[in-house]
Structure 1
Amino acid sequence: MKPSINSKLAIIGVAIDLGAGTPGVSLGPAAIRFAGVTERLSNIGYQVEDMGDIVAIKPVSPHTDGTNLKNLDEVARVNNLLCEKVSTAMSANLFPLVLGGDHSIAIGTIAGVLQHKSNLGVIWFDAHGDINTDETSPSGNIHGMPVAVSLGLGHDRLTSIGGTDKKLNTKNIVFIGCRDLDAGERKILKELGITVFTMHEIDRLGMTEVMTRAIEIASNGTDGIHVSFDLDSMDPVFVQGTGTRVPGGLTYRESHLALEMIAQTEKVVSAEFVEVNPIIDHKNETAKTAVALIGSLMGEWLI
C-alpha cells in the first residue's frame, strides 16, 4: 500500500475492551492517536479523515444475554456499527484503518470490508488462534473468536453481522506468529486446513520465506488482502502494553519486514491494529510501536 494506490485513508477507532479479559484496551485508539498516527500517515502522503471512535458501554453484568459469552449484547452492537462505518468508508473510496480496542473488533471490520470485497484474503498476526466459538472457548472472551465468526462459526448474534452470506474462505487465511493455541483451536485449524505459521516455522524458514508464502496464500484468487495485527504477536520485550503477552514472539524488525513485504504487493485493502493497552504500558511505547508498524504497512520507505 502507498498513496499512489489510494491516497485517501479513514481512521476508525473502536474504544472497547469488553471482548478481552484484561481492561484497558478501550484506551488504545486514543493512545495510538497520541503517538502521532495521523501525522505519520500525512507525512507518507495520505489524506487522512478521522471518523472518530465507536465507544462501548459497559453493561451491569457480563452475562445479561443468557450465554457463556461475555458482554455479547454490547460486543455485537459495537461490531454492527463498525461494519457499517467500514462499509461507508469504502463506499467513499477511503482505505479503512481501524484502531482497537480488543481483537473482537475484527468481526465488524472484516464484515464491513466483505460488503465490497467478496473474495478477501486475510493475514492475521497473533500469538493466539482467535478461532474459538461459544462451544470451545474456555473463557467466554469474544476477542478469542473473530476468525471463527468471520467464517460463519459461532453464535448467530455475531455471525449475522454484515450478512451470513458474506464470509471468508479458509484457503485464503494465514496466521503469523502463533504460539499459544487452545485445544479446540488446534482441532478446528487442522480440520479446516487453515495455514498457520507458528514461531517454529518463522525460526526455521525465516520471515522472508514465511511472508512470501503467506502473501501467495492470501492473494491467490482474492480481490484484496486485509491485515489484522494484534500487538501480542510480538515478543513482550518489544510490547509491554498488551494484555495477553506470550514470550517468544516476533521481533521488532521481523514485524516491520512482514508489513513492508505486504505493502509491496499493493494488494492491501484494509487493516486493523489491536490490543494496545496503555494502562499496563511504559510511556506509551506500545502505541508508538503500533504507529511505526502502521507506517511500514502503508508504504513508508526510508529511501
Structure 2
Amino acid sequence: MTIRTIGVPMDLGADRRGVDMGPSAIRYAGLSTALDDIGRPSREAGDLTVPHAEERDPNASATATNAKYLPEVEAVCTRLADEVAGALDDGGLPLVLGGDHSIAIGTLAGASRESDIGAVWFDAHSDVNTPETTPSGNVHGMPLAAALGMGEFADTPWANSPNLSEKNVALVGLRSVDDPERERIRDSDMTAYTMSDIDERGVVDVTEEALAIATDGVGGMHVSLDMDWLDPSHAPGVGTPVRGGVTYREAHSAMELVAGHDDALRSLEVVEVNPILDSHNETAELATELAASALGKRVL
C-alpha cells in the first residue's frame, strides 16, 4: 500500500506559534528516506494551504465564540477530509503531518467516510473539551470531542465522524485532563489509559488492549500520535509538554505493535511538532522514527 503523505501546517488550534512548521521539520528529518528504507512506496501530496493567524479574527465565529479560529479550522479540516478520503479511494494509506492536533478532525472525517473505524489516541491530553468547557478556546484540545459530536459539536456536521463509535476509541498515556473532560470520559463508552496504567501494566499490555478495542468489529482504525505523549526529555519540541510521559523505547514498542495491525491501519497522523521549541530538530527526528516503526520498521 502506497503511503500518501499530507502536510497540514496548521497552528490556528494552538496557543504557541511554530507548530505550523512541523510538517517541514518532519520531512527535513528524513521521512522519505525512512519510508524507502523499510520498503514502503510513498507519494508526497504536499501541504494544504492554511490561513495565517495574523490575517484572521480568532473570535469571528458566531456559533462558538470560545473556539478560536473555528471557521478557518473548519475550512482546512474539510479539505483534509477530502484528501484523506481520496488517498484511501486510491488504495493508499494517508500519513498526515501536523500541525496542531485540531487537524485530527479532518483526518478522522476522511478516514471514516466510507467505513466504520476505531481510533487509538496516543496523547498526554484527552482532547475532549468543547467550546462550552475549554479553558483556553484552543481547538487542538477539542478534536476528539468534535469527531464524536460531543457538546456543541453535535450541531457541527462538518466536524463529526458518524462512523466512529466511542466504544472503539482508546486513549493511551493520559496525564493532563481537565475536570470537564474527566467527567465526559467517565460518562462515555471510550476506554482511557493513564500513565499510571502504563506504569503498572507496561506499555505493551496497554497498547495491545487499546488496539484490540479500536479494531473490534470495524473496517479499520485511525492512529493519532501527539508528540507530547512522550516525556519532554525525549520530545522537547512540543507546544504543551507534560512531564511524566512515555520513554523513547516505550514509544517505539507501541508503534511496533501498531505495525503488527497493518492490515487494520486506515490512517496515521503525527502532530504537535514545534521546531521553534525543539533542540536540533530532535523531536522531528523522533517523529520520523516513530512513524517508520508504526509502518513496519524492525530491528530484525
> Shorter-chain TM-score: what band?
over 0.9
Task: Quote the residue 1:116 is aligned against.
Answer: 114
Contact 2:108 2:161 in 1 (8 A): no
Separation in 1 of the partners of 2:238 and 2:223? 18
Please list, as runs of the form range in 1=range in 2, the aligned pairs for 1:25-40 lying within 5 A after superposition. 25-40=19-34
Please list, as runs of the form range in 1=range in 2, the aligned pairs for 1:149-188 lying within 5 A after superposition. 149-155=146-152, 159-161=156-158, 166-188=162-184
Please list, as runs of the form range in 1=range in 2, the aligned pairs for 1:1-303 lying within 5 A after superposition. 6=1, 8-57=2-51, 58=53, 59-66=55-62, 67-117=65-115, 119-155=116-152, 159-161=156-158, 166-266=162-262, 267-303=264-300
Q: What TM-score comes out, normalization by structure 2 length?
A: 0.95
3-state DSSP of counterpart to 1:140: coil
Unaligned runs of 5+ in 2: none
Offset at residue 60 of structure 1 (A): 3.1
Separation in 1 of the partners of 2:29 and 2:148? 34
Which has the higher mean CA deviation after the structures are superposed, 214-223 or 165-174? 165-174
3-state DSSP of counterpart to 2:131: coil
Taking every aligned residue pair, what percent have the same amino acid on both sides? 44
Contact 2:132 2:152 in 1 (8 A): no
Which has the higher mean CA deviation after the structures are superposed, 261-270 or 76-85? 261-270
Contact 1:11 1:49 in 2 (8 A): yes
Separation in 1 of the partners of 2:189 and 2:196? 18
Q: 1:20 to 1:158 in 2, by over 3 A?
A: farther
Task: Quote the residue 1:3 is aligned against.
Answer: none
Deviation digits for residues 155-177 of structure 1, max 9, x if unmatched?
45983227x57241111100111
Which has the higher mean CA deviation after the structures are superposed, 227-236 or 203-212? 203-212
Offset at residue 46 of structure 1 (A): 1.7
Unaligned runs of 5+ in 1: 1-5
Deviation digits for residues 240-268 of structure 1, max 9, x if unmatched?
10000000001011111011012112221
Q: For the aligned residues, what is the CA RMSD?
A: 1.4
Q: 1:17 to 1:278 in 2, by over 3 A?
A: same
Letter in 1 for 2:235: V
Contact 2:119 2:224 in 1 (8 A): yes
3-state DSSP of counterpart to 1:261: helix
Q: 1:18 to 1:301 in 2, by over 3 A?
A: same
Separation in 2 of the partners of 1:45 and 1:17? 32
* Alignment coverage as a number of residue pairs: 295
Letter in 1 for 2:26: I
Offset at residue 203 of structure 1 (A): 0.2
